A = this chain, B = another copy of it.
Amino acid sequence: MAKQTVTAEDVAKRAGVSRAVVSRALSSNGSISPATKERVLRAAQELGYQVNFLAQGLNRQRSHLIGVIVARIADPFRSRLLEELLHEIQRRGYQALVTEISGEQDLVATLRRFTQFRVSGVIVTSGQPPQAIVNECVNLHIPVVGINRDPDIPLVDFVCSDNRAGAQLAAEQLLSAGCRRFGWLNTHGSTWAGRRRGEAFSQALEDGGVDTAQQLQIIMAHEEGYAGGWQAALAHDAELPDGIFCANAQLACGFLDGMRQRGKQAPHDFHLIGFDNTPQSGQFSYQLTTLHQNTTEIAHRALTRLLERAKNPLQPSHVEWVKVELIHRHTSPRIG
């Protein structure tokens, strides 16, 4: 039976050099003559040598791992974001550690586990990490980046879609389409991003001369996603607003279908604008007008911030706002 694994020692022997030289040859770290370097590389090649990342990480006090914290991956927007993050992480030569959480205590446990693997960084797409655990990360010089989170943690960077600008675009679109009575659809226990969109929408309407006390109806779904939107539509008993803005795409699709069930169609009976631009919102049966979140850009910037902070762990917190775009579709068509 062959030896299980080939180590740097083996390569060294074969190349007739010491372990130290092998390390240099592979990490191009420290000086080495081109000739021996090639000799080592060939030996490594021939033996099929692979660095043991556990040993390497132990020594360097840092692994090539990046932790990603997510929730409800089955949600189309979140899975798209995860996909982009994985892509970006791999592109930069790291390996992703992914954990799905369902509450704040999971968050703490996960963050701690990540530190135990000496990750090079952590990306949080769900939950709001308590200061205490963040400090543990900071002490270990592990950068933490939040995506679409409330950007109020010192020494943590944030990348967020520009919810405020998105809400303004929505308000302008609805106003110029001639809507007069407005609705804001969100779920109870919404994320920070959702609430921000609602506040900014209200603000933008006021700026546009709308008396929001009278003309803005708040519709709160009792459940997340499509099912929440559907039920909100079925349960809706006030007068139907003619311009509705919705915290996310899933909710909006559910609402649209619920209203169809009741015989109400957009844009005939009401206008509807969603957020996220999930694949479904562009499909024939929905054609939802929506704000587009640029997940590619978000992922790209998140990694950039992460590596930036790795170099300079104590720099002040950065917050980046990623541009959103209004996609005009059927539920609130472009004007003029």
Q: When the two chains form their complex, are residues A90 and B100 in contact, meaning their CB atoms are under 8 A apart?
A: yes
Q: A321 near B: Cβ within 8 Å?
A: no
Contacts A86-B98, A90-B100, A116-B53; is A4 near B226 (CB within 8 Å)?
no
The yes or no answer to A83 lying at the interface (CB within 8 A) is: yes
Q: Is the CB of B58 within 8 A of A279?
A: no
Q: B52 to A58, Cβ gap below 8 A?
A: yes
Cross-chain contact B63 with A74 (CB below 8 angstroms):
no
Are A116 and B261 within 8 A (Cβ)? no
Q: Which of A147-155, A281-289, A296-304 contacts B (4 or more CB under 8 A)?
A: A281-289
Say yes or no for A57: interface residue by CB 8 A criterion: yes
Q: Which residues of B contact A260 (CB under 8 A)?
A: 284-285
CB distance from A283 to the nearest CB of B (A): 6
Q: Does A51 contact B (CB under 8 A)?
A: yes
- Encoded as 1 (CB less than 8 Å from any B CB) or 0, chain A from 71 to 82 comes to 011101001101
Inter-chain contacts of A286 with B (CB < 8 A)? 285
Within the complex, which residue of B80, B86, B253 is in contact with A99, where a contact is CB–CB below 8 Å? B86
A335 at the binding interface (Cβ < 8 Å): no
Asked, given contacts A55-B58, A253-B283, whether A98 binds B100 with beta carbons under 8 Å apart, the answer is: no
Q: Mark A59-97, 1 if CB is under 8 A from B, else 0.
A: 000010100000011101001101100110010000111
Q: Give chain B residues whose Cβ lies under 8 Å from the Cβ of A19.
A: none
| A118 CB-CB contact with B under 8 Å | yes
Q: Give the residues in chain B near A238, CB-CB below 8 Å.
A: none
Chain B residue nearest to A98 (CB atoms) is B98
Report if A113 contacts B (CB, 8 A). Answer: yes
Are A4 and B139 neighbours in the complex by a CB distance under 8 Å? yes
Inter-chain contact A226/B279, CB cutoff 8 Å: yes
- Between A and B, 19 residue pairs with Cβ closer than 8 Å are A4-B140, A52-B116, A53-B118, A65-B97, A72-B83, A73-B79, A74-B76, A74-B80, A79-B82, A96-B97, A96-B98, A97-B97, A253-B283, A254-B283, A258-B284, A260-B284, A261-B284, A285-B285, A285-B286
